[in-house]
A and B are shown apart, each in its own frame.
Chain A
């Protein structure tokens, strides 16, 4: 299996390979679009079979059913070779064909076409000239195009995720592709690492480090590997959240007593206090339009989700069912919050539709935590405890499709889903 080196400017250690996640769909529901993805001409000569990655990407969403392509001979690689009756006979509604050919300077040209089988029409035709080492990334871009054409939503196959891997007393902050491949260690420590948060452009991560034997907030530039301490005030410094324009970080500080929410320039400086409650205020999150901050507060006696204007001010309680609703995260369209809900002794991920107040429990674990939306809003990635170990799992916004991301590496926790690539 070939691995593509991420442009993170750091070496892939042998240990990082331990972080490899494998993703399996544990449940799927609803109608699945039958799609045939033919092997691409010439891909068997390449380090990465592009059609296999495209098929795996689409299959993992639970929204597609892969149609067997075996027995159709010759398999089409050009539009003129497509016999739509072959594919209609196999109930395929969509067909993907393609080819990979040599291009100058050691590069290759990948050409793919997507067809609507029933209408016998071409929906997309694109070509990419890339280095062979980029073929896996190219396959994700192709899957993004197909997904968007067939569902109307942006694909997230070219995005990255970050998470913390814990083995014994060793912690690593890792970044991988959304399918778990190309895991890279961006930080290793013998002290805990918590709460990674992507900058809106995906170039930096804010996180909580315990290297100073207490929680402090650090921002790390991924390409350069440089770090900057943003908050290391007296007491706890934690829960970083970026403003949509990248100018600010919200942080939770206990410098003035109990934990409260502060705003600080993302390049550092003096913190400005935004909440003033007699209890704990933490886990802030900006709404995507930057107008609101959702957060956890136990000012009313039990921890609940509140929201307040982005500059502080009167807070409005949003959750009312149960005695423990914490850790809100906005969906990319700003209409929904995902949060952690305690029901009896079980901790699960739930969503709150802001317009109606409707709460939907999305997961059925015992110790689920740290929900993070995919940038297209279709899936929520979170941490689950399975067999006493931290694992990542993902659930669709309607709760019907479930994925489990497993790793042999130890405990995997605290995920954060990165933004769409800017291209």
Chain B
């Protein structure tokens, strides 16, 4: 039967690309930090996931390298533990008036893709609001979202989801 022939062909192809498939399973995240993270509490340890890059590299303050804010399920309220992260970034922006940033919101995989895209943007907007209160001009911050499309953790459990409900500040 043709279907059988197809399955055989697919099996051969799958075998031929087995090494690639394995690679696909690897989370698209910084392995140097993810290995020692506590999966149930991504909050404090996880914020180093986003490594320094671009214009901020070399800035003395290590706190400045923390640029991620994590959220509860179905929530876009900024938790108190991340106020410090946002304050540090806002201060940096106050000291560097030429810099513009993009805040990228993300969601876990649950729910509808397009609604998650909008939810991620609302998370980014929530971080922006805190920055605006701290004096960062509205025009220097663009809020966008990857929705559920770019998870840093690829699992299908709360440990992975907690890492993916996130807003990243990008220079």
Contact = CB atoms under 8 A, between A and B. Distances in A.
Contacts of B114: 194-195, 238-239, 252, 282-283, 296, 326-327
B115 A195 contact: no
Contacts of B6: 1, 20, 22
A367 B150 CA distance: 17
B102 A214 contact: yes
Contacts of B110: 345, 347, 367
A303 B118 CA distance: 11
Interface in B91-140: 102, 104, 109-115, 117-119, 121-122, 125
Interface string B141-152: 011111101100
B63 interface: no
B13 interface: yes
A125 B28 CA distance: 57
B144 A235 contact: yes
Interface stretch (A71-79, A137-145, A147-155, A254-262): A254-262
Nearest to A284: B114
Given A1-B2, A167-B24, A210-B149, A388 B156 contact: yes
A168 B26 CA distance: 8
Interface residues of B, number: 36
Contacts of A296: 112, 114-115
A327 B112 contact: yes
Interface residues of A, number: 48
B156 A324 contact: no
A239 B10 CA distance: 33
22 contacts: A1-B2, A22-B7, A168-B23, A168-B24, A194-B117, A214-B102, A214-B142, A236-B145, A238-B117, A252-B114, A254-B145, A259-B121, A280-B115, A296-B112, A324-B111, A326-B112, A327-B115, A347-B112, A369-B111, A369-B112, A410-B24, A414-B113
What are the 8 closest A-B residue pairs judged by CB atoms, nearest first?
A168-B24, A192-B149, A259-B118, A214-B144, A408-B10, A280-B118, A327-B112, A282-B118
Interface of B: 2-3, 5-7, 10, 13-14, 20, 23-24, 28, 102, 104, 109-115, 117-119, 121-122, 125, 142-147, 149-150, 156
Interface of A: 1, 17-18, 20, 22, 52, 167-169, 192, 194-195, 208, 210, 213-215, 234-236, 238-239, 252, 254, 257-259, 280, 282-283, 296, 303, 324, 326-327, 340, 342, 345, 347, 367, 369-370, 385, 388, 408, 410, 413-414
